[in-house]
Amino acid sequence: MAAEITNSQIAELLCVESESAKHHVQRAMRKAARAAHLWTEEAAEIVAAKRSVTELSGVGPFLEKLILKWIERPPKEIVEPEIRRDFFTWTQAQKILAAQPDWKKDVRGDLQMHTEWSDGTGTVRDMAMAAIERGYQYIAITDHAKKLKIAGGINEEELQTQGEEIQAVNKELAAQKKSFRVLRSIELNLDLSGIGDMESQALEKLDVVLGAFHLSLRKTDDQTARYLGALNNPHLNILGHPRGRIYNFRLGLQADWPRIFETAAQKDKAIEIDSYPDRQDSNLNLLKLARKAGCRISIGTDAHHPPQLQFIDFGLAAALAAKIPKERILNFMSRKELLAWAKRKP
């Protein structure tokens, strides 16, 4: 049996099959399609080893029959529509990273994550301890800002109180002779003109500021103006998950990307790779344009729980596949270098 079909292709076949399935089966297929991006082994290799694919997350006996059929007789053509195209699976990311092991070894921090202050489940300390286990020097806590109420966005007063908690965690780590530090940050909710939803005085106290659009993400006309507005925001350091795409749910926005990346390079702002498996935004095509423009890249997991810090591998793999130079990626900076860059005004 030839192991020709990949987990990515199985995910696509599950999505296609779900389109004609009954509601409860449809949900199971779509859930398994998303889970396929995190399977740590190729399903075809599991079958070749005479094991059951029900070992894989989201796969029960019914879906196993379908997957076995596809593995034994792969369809001649599997074409992913744009809404599901250009998403790495875990196994693909590991293969890319295996060719350059220093990328995982040298990464120094994660620049987007959420805690129980907004829509995460871990505390600041929980996220810090998980990052220390990964050998990081720093993380940035980027809980949602106040106008994104659906995600539990925090206001200026809460941001200040969170800052006191971060200071206490850092003091505890310093007493333990650990060089690791938690950085104060936020995920600004940008409006259509690129203005954020927090007062300037609050933002000036932060170490680094990330902002992203969460409004009108299904527009199909050119959205270049909103991005240029965001890059002109003097407080913004990192433009988060720029397209706003989500696997099999939302295509994301269209814009004059070369112009946006050239503007980011001129203003020395960073474009984010959101490494959350369902986002993977910026994707490979955008990253190649960003590399050509010479702008900086920031990698964040968008983790909402400590174990999700492992998602950094998706962002690292994407940057490596796009041939982004290490010196253009914030996450390879020392903490001192990162803080100096974030406070520099263009």
217 burial level (CB within 10 Å; 0-12, 13-18, 19+): middle
CA 322/CA 320 separation, integer angstroms: 5
Per-residue pLDDT averaged across 100-120, rounded?
Answer: 97
In this predicted structure, what is the pLDDT of residue 345?
Answer: 63
Q: Is the predicted pLDDT of residue 69 greater than 80, yes or no?
A: yes
Predicted confidence band of residue 346 (pLDDT cuts 50, 70, 90): low
In this predicted structure, what is the pLDDT of residue 76?
Answer: 87
Predicted confidence band of residue 248 (pLDDT cuts 50, 70, 90): very high
CA 211/CA 23 separation, integer angstroms: 36
166 burial level (CB within 10 Å; 0-12, 13-18, 19+): buried
Q: Is the predicted pLDDT of residue 279 greater than 70, yes or no?
A: yes
The kind and range of the H/E element at 271 are strand 270-274
In this predicted structure, what is the pLDDT of residue 4?
Answer: 82
Q: Is the predicted pLDDT of residue 3 greater than 50, yes or no?
A: no
Predicted confidence band of residue 338 (pLDDT cuts 50, 70, 90): very high
Per-residue pLDDT averaged across 192-212, rounded?
Answer: 97
146-196 residue pLDDT tens = 999 999 999 999 999 999 999 999 999 999 999 999 999 999 999 999 999
Per-residue pLDDT averaged across 52-64, rounded?
Answer: 97
Residue 331 is classified by DSSP as G
165 burial level (CB within 10 Å; 0-12, 13-18, 19+): middle
Q: Is the predicted pLDDT of residue 2 greater than 90, yes or no?
A: no
In this predicted structure, what is the pLDDT of residue 239?
Answer: 98
Mean pLDDT of the chain: 96
Strand partners for 272: 298
Q: Is the predicted pLDDT of residue 117 greater than 80, yes or no?
A: yes
Strands across the sheet containing 238-239: 187-190, 210-213, 238-239, 270-274, 296-300
CA 318/CA 15 separation, integer angstroms: 23
First to last CA, the chain: 58
In this predicted structure, what is the pLDDT of residue 327?
Answer: 97
198 touches 156 (CB < 8 A): yes
Question: Residue 17 to residues 26, 171, 271, 301: CA-CA distances in angstroms?
Answer: 8, 53, 35, 30
Q: What is the pTM of this model?
A: 0.96
- 32-41, 69-78, 303-312: the lowest-pLDDT one: 69-78
